[in-house]
Amino acid sequence: MGYRPQHYKIQELVNPKLLSEFGEAKCWEMLDADLLYMADAIRDKYGAIGVNYGGLVDCGLRDWRNPTTGSSASAHCHGKALDLHILNIPQTVGAYDKVREELLDNAMFLRLCFETGVNWLHIDINNREYRTFSA
């Protein structure tokens, strides 16, 4: 068995259609273990986090066959990205900029890439030259 995060259920991390089609075990396999480990560490640091919550379904693994949400180049379609919503901070770009800066300063999160200018925390582990990008 691969890494199972302490703080997240598979339902929060995978589009529900994928989950019903492939099942839990296969969906865990499709998520990157290092990414899950770091998502746990971010939860430990900042407290409660929502991923797929409040009607959101594409904040984790997305269906790569869906032409609307599934850009096949997106890290979300390869189990290498999560959009985290930290529930204890204001849901503003500024508040998330502060979080991104804190994480960039922490060697534990050296491998993470971020998306800037958004009021959520997109993290991914694509192999990019730069650790931040604008959508």
The size of the interface with Zn ion (CB under 5 A), counted in residues, is: 2
Report the C-alpha gap between 58 and 36 in whole angstroms.
16
Q: Which residue stretch of 16-24, 89-97, 99-107, 118-126 sits at the interface with Zn ion (rule: CB under 5 A)? A: 118-126
Q: Which residue stretch of 43-51, 84-92, 105-113, 114-122 sits at the interface with Zn ion (rule: CB under 5 A)? A: 114-122
Least Å distance between CB 83 and Zn ion? Answer: 4
62 binds Zn ion per the rule CB under 5 A: no
Q: Which residue stretch of 3-11, 18-26, 37-45, 117-125 sits at the interface with Zn ion (rule: CB under 5 A)? A: 117-125
Residues 6+ apart with CB under 8 A from 87: 47, 48, 49, 50
User: What would the two tokens of residue 52 be?
Assistant: 């797929």
C-alpha to C-alpha distances, 134 to 29, 113, 130, 131, nearest whole angstrom: 29, 11, 11, 11
Residue closest to Zn ion when measured from CB atoms: 122
58 binds Zn ion per the rule CB under 5 A: no
Report the C-alpha gap between 11 and 24 in whole angstroms.
9
Q: Which member of 80, 83, 84, 96 binds Zn ion (CB under 5 A)? A: 83
Report the C-alpha gap between 63 and 71 in whole angstroms.
9
122 binds Zn ion per the rule CB under 5 A: yes
